[in-house]
Copies of this chain bind each other. A is one copy, B any other.
Amino acid sequence: MDCLDDLITRTGAAGFCLYATSDDPDMRYLTRFTTHDPVPVIKKPGENPLMILPVMEVERAERESVAQIITRQQAGYEEIISTEKDPSRITAALIHRCVQGPVVVPPRFPLGLARALEERTQVILDTGSTVGRMRAVKSAAEIDGIRTAQRAVEAAMEQAVRMIRTAGIRDGVLCQDGIPLTSEQVKYAIHTTLLRHGCTADGTIVACGEGTSMPHWTGDGPLRSNQPIVIDIFPRHEVSGYHADMTRTLSRGEPSSAVCDLYRAVRDALALGESAVSAGVSGAECHQRVKDFFTEAGFETGTEGFIHSLGHGIGLEIHERPSLSPSGESLEENQVVTVEPGLYYRGVGGVRIENLGVVKSPGFKRLTEFSTEMIV
């Protein structure tokens, strides 16, 4: 919390403030509280973060969060709403009762509330995303949280591999008990396995065939043999809130030689990318080294071929700092990043392989423990 106190002091603010649900990673990080409704969180120098809560949440927050709690009523809610009806102005008045003077707020702070607060005090933008930077470097407990989620991902991937490996094949279509095995069935098996491990996911990718040239196509319908099957699983652990993320490209039987070429290049790029990650190296350099490798190997890096970033930080947010991309800053020890090179060609398909691990000084400590073999 020292960085946040420094920010407050440096900007001459009376406090730092955000207004969000616990889907906002900054909010969850500062309070460890979960809520589907946005609440004001105020941090003053030398104090724990303070949440302004409706009465119905107080008892739970006392048990579950690390924040101080004040009820809306204690902050003057009844008096405020007797004269004010605009929701943003009501929230601004509540915040202003708890922190007199200028407030510094994160880049995602809602403009509507900022404008309402500006009627009462100065609103200073934290252009440096202080909490986002704090979140990027993980404690041992946070790394454990990511590792726990990663073990769930691996159990789910193992289940998916087993289904694909043991399926029958009829006219090039994978079958289970005589009927086509679909993307939907494999996702269901993945999601139930994740649930057993305390994780929930949405957007899970089980995509087969030429459509895998769209990196984020989630896939549907029957799976086929001798075709790339991209599986990307990135759940959140419900209790801790931390994510994991892993992608594998599988094929039941050998796919086309074009897909095999993509696979070999991506597998080598993964090793190169992992070897590039180290404290003090920039995310931009990691990305560039892989991009150069693909270029030298004859692959495109514009609208086809390698068309996305090499990787991203991961934690309470699925994509967070640091970025392994052209704008990636210098990596720091104990950041957790994914390395996920991929190649995508319309009419051919896509191959992506993704691991995650901890930035060390020097090096990269992989947390992922799962085969990268394609053919199952």
Interface residues of A (CB under 8 A from B): 23, 34-37, 54-57, 59-60, 63, 71, 73, 81, 85-88, 105-115, 123, 125, 127, 188, 191-192, 195-196, 200-203, 213-217, 236, 238, 302-303, 307-308, 318-319, 326-327, 344, 346
CB-based contact B319/A55 at 8 Å: no
Which 4 A-B pairs have CB atoms at the shortest separation, nearest pair first? A107-B112, A60-B214, A109-B111, A56-B308
* 26 residue pairs A–B, Cβ–Cβ below 8 Å: A23-B23, A34-B203, A36-B203, A54-B308, A55-B307, A56-B214, A57-B215, A60-B217, A81-B326, A81-B327, A85-B327, A86-B127, A107-B110, A107-B112, A107-B113, A108-B111, A111-B111, A111-B114, A111-B125, A112-B125, A114-B114, A188-B196, A191-B195, A191-B200, A195-B195, A200-B201
From A55, A201, A326, A346, residue with most partner B Cβ within 10 Å:
A55
Q: Which residue of B lies closest to A304 (CB)?
A: B55
* Contact indicator B36/A319 (Cβ below 8 Å): yes
- Measured between alpha carbons, how far is A111 from B103 in the docked complex, in Å? 13
A125 to B191, CA, bound (A): 40
**Which residues of B are found within 8 Å of A34, using beta-carbon distances?**
203
Q: Is the CB of B107 within 8 A of A88?
A: yes
Residues of B within 8 A of A60 (CB): 214, 216-217
State whether B56 touches A307 (Cβ < 8 A). Answer: yes
- Cα of A215 to Cα of B35 in the assembled complex, Å: 12
Q: How far is the CA of A318 from the CA of B110 in the complex (A)?
A: 19
Question: Cα distance A13–B330 when bound, in Å?
Answer: 40
Inter-chain CA distance A22–B55, complex, in Å, is 31
How near does chain B come to A135, taking the closest CB pair, in angstroms?
16
Residues of B within 8 A of A87 (CB): 327
The smallest C-beta distance from A38 to any residue of chain B, in angstroms, reads 9
Is B88 a contact of A112 with CB atoms below 8 Å?
A: no
CA distance A57 to B55 in the complex (A): 43
